[in-house]
C-alpha cells in the first residue's frame, strides 16, 4: 500500500513543477507578458493646407431672356411657317410670312395717288408762279393771287400726305414677314399655317442667344458671401457638370423660405434645358485647415475616427470632426492635435488598444514591392 502512494505523490509534484512553463506563466510574479504587434503601419501627422470655401445651393435652369415674337399686321393669313421648336435662328431671319395680295394692291393704289398728287402740285406751282409774275402789273387782284398761292401750298401738303400713306403701306407689306429679333433658339411656337392672326398675337418665343442661367436659392446666412463674378460649379441631375459665373444677387430675400435668388450665367450650357433641376457650389474663397489623407479616416456608425499611435506602440481610437475635401485629403475640423501621430492606412483592421509596429513609408514601400516580386 505504501508504494502506490509514493508513486502518486511523485506524479503530483512533477505536474506542479511543469505547470508554469506549460501554461505560459512567468516564474517571477509581477513580470509583464510579451506582446505581438497586430499590424505593421505607417503614421502621418495633420498638415496645414489652403482649402476652398464653398456655399452649396439648389435651383433650376431658366432662359436668360425670352423674346415674344408676334404679328404686327391685323387680320392677315399665315402663308408660310419656316421654323419649329428647337431651331437655331439668326437675327433678321424670316420665321414666317403672311399672304400679302391685299396689302400689295393697297400699296399700288396709294402709289397711284402719289403720282396724282405730284401732277396736281405741278399745276398749282405753275399757276402760283404766273401769279407772282403778274402781281406788279395789277392784272390779277390780290384775292386771286392769294388763292393761287394757297392752292400751291395745299397741293404740296396733299402730296406729302400721299407719300406718308405710301410709306405706311410699305411698312405694312414689310410686316408680312416675321423676323427674328436676335440670335437664339425657338422655345415655343403657336403659329399655324393658314390661320388668320390678330395684331399682337404671339407666334413664337425665342431664347435670346441660346443663353441659360441657373437661379440658385441661397440661404440668407450664406447670401453675403456670394458676390458677382464668383465661379460656380453647377451639377445637373444626371451628373453633368457646367461651369458658371455669378451675374447678380437678388436684392430681396423670400419671407417664407428665407432664401435669396442668385443668378448664375452658364456660358456653355451644352445639353442642359430650361426647367432642369441642378445643384451647385459657389467658390467664396480659401482658408487654412488641418488635413489628413482620406485613408487615415475611418467611418463607423455615422461618425469619423482615426487611430492615434502612442509612445508605447498602442493605438487609441479617436473621434474627430471632418469638413471639406480636396483631392485625397480631408479637413480635420476638431478632435485632433496638430502633432498627433495617426495610422495612415489600415485603420479598419485595428481595434482600440491594439499594439502596432511602426515603420517609415519608404520601408513599407520596399517591403510591399519585395512581396510582390518573383520568388
The pLDDT tens digits of the residues spanning 321-350 come to 998 888 888 989 898 988 899 999 888 888
Domain span at residue 301 reads 39-50+288-368
State how far Cα 195 lies from the chain centre: 40
Note whether residue 8 is domain-resident. Answer: no
Look up the CATH number of the domain holding residue 143.
1.10.287
Note whether residue 142 is domain-resident. Answer: yes
Structure pTM?
0.60
Sign of CA dihedral 230, 236, 239, 243: negative
The residue with cell 437655331 is 88
Residue 129 shares a structural domain with residue 237: no
What's the structural domain count of the chain? 4
Chain segment 187-232, per-residue pLDDT in tens: 999 999 988 888 888 999 999 999 999 999 999 999 999 999 999 9
pLDDT, position 215: 96
d(CA 282, CA 205) in angstroms, rounded, equals: 31
Residue 277 CB contacts under 8 Å (≥ 6 apart), including other chains? 58, 59, 60, 236, 237
Look at 2-6, 39-43, 321-325 and tell me which has the smallest mean pLDDT: 2-6
CB 42 within 8 A of CB 359: yes
Residue 275 shares a structural domain with residue 217: yes
Residue 355 shares a structural domain with residue 324: yes
Note whether residue 295 is domain-resident. Answer: yes
Q: At what angle do helices 101-134 and 142-174 cross, to 10 degrees?
A: 160
**Sheet arrangement for strand 88-89:** 66-70, 202-208, 184-189, 88-89
Amino acid at each position: 500500500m505504501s508504494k502506490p502512494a509514493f508513486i502518486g505523490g511523485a506524479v503530483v509534484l512533477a505536474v506542479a513543477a511543469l505547470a508554469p512553463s506549460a501554461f505560459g506563466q512567468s516564474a517571477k510574479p509581477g513580470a509583464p507578458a510579451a506582446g505581438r504587434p497586430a499590424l505593421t503601419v505607417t503614421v502621418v501627422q495633420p498638415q496645414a493646407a489652403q482649402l476652398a470655401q464653398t456655399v452649396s445651393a439648389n435651383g433650376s435652369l431658366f432662359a436668360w431672356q425670352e423674346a415674344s415674337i408676334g404679328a404686327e399686321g391685323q387680320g392677315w393669313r399665315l402663308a408660310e411657317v419656316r421654323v419649329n421648336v428647337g431651331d437655331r435662328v439668326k437675327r433678321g431671319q424670316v420665321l414666317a410670312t403672311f399672304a400679302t395680295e391685299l396689302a400689295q394692291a393697297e400699296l399700288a393704289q396709294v402709289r397711284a395717288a402719289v403720282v396724282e398728287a405730284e401732277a396736281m402740285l405741278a399745276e398749282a406751282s405753275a399757276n402760283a408762279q404766273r401769279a407772282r409774275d403778274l402781281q406788279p402789273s395789277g392784272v390779277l387782284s390780290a384775292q386771286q393771287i392769294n388763292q393761287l398761292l394757297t392752292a400751291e401750298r395745299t397741293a404740296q401738303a396733299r402730296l406729302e400726305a400721299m407719300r406718308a400713306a405710301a410709306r405706311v403701306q410699305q411698312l405694312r407689306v414689310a410686316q408680312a414677314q416675321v423676323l427674328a429679333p436676335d440670335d437664339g433658339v425657338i422655345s415655343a411656337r403657336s403659329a399655324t399655317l393658314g390661320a388668320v392672326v390678330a395684331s399682337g398675337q404671339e407666334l413664337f418665343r425665342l431664347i435670346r442667344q441660346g443663353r441659360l442661367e441657373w437661379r440658385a436659392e441661397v440661404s440668407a446666412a450664406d447670401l453675403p458671401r456670394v458676390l458677382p463674378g464668383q465661379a460656380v460649379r453647377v451639377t445637373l441631375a444626371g451628373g453633368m457638370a457646367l461651369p458658371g459665373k455669378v451675374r447678380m444677387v437678388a436684392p430681396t430675400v423670400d419671407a417664407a423660405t428665407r432664401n435669396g435668388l442668385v443668378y448664375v450665367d452658364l456660358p456653355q450650357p451644352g445639353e442642359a434645358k430650361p426647367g432642369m433641376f441642378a445643384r451647385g457650389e459657389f467658390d467664396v474663397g480659401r482658408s487654412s485647415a488641418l488635413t489628413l489623407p482620406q485613408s487615415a479616416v475611418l467611418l463607423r456608425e455615422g461618425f469619423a475616427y482615426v487611430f492615434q499611435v502612442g509612445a508605447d506602440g498602442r493605438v487609441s481610437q479617436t473621434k474627430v470632426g471632418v469638413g471639406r475635401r480636396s483631392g485625397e485629403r480631408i479637413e480635420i475640423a476638431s478632435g485632433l492635435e496638430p502633432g498627433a501621430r495617426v495610422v495612415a492606412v489600415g485603420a479598419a483592421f485595428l481595434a482600440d488598444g491594439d499594439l502596432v509596429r511602426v515603420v517609415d513609408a519608404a520601408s513599407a514601400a520596399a517591403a510591399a514591392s519585395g512581396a510582390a516580386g518573383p520568388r
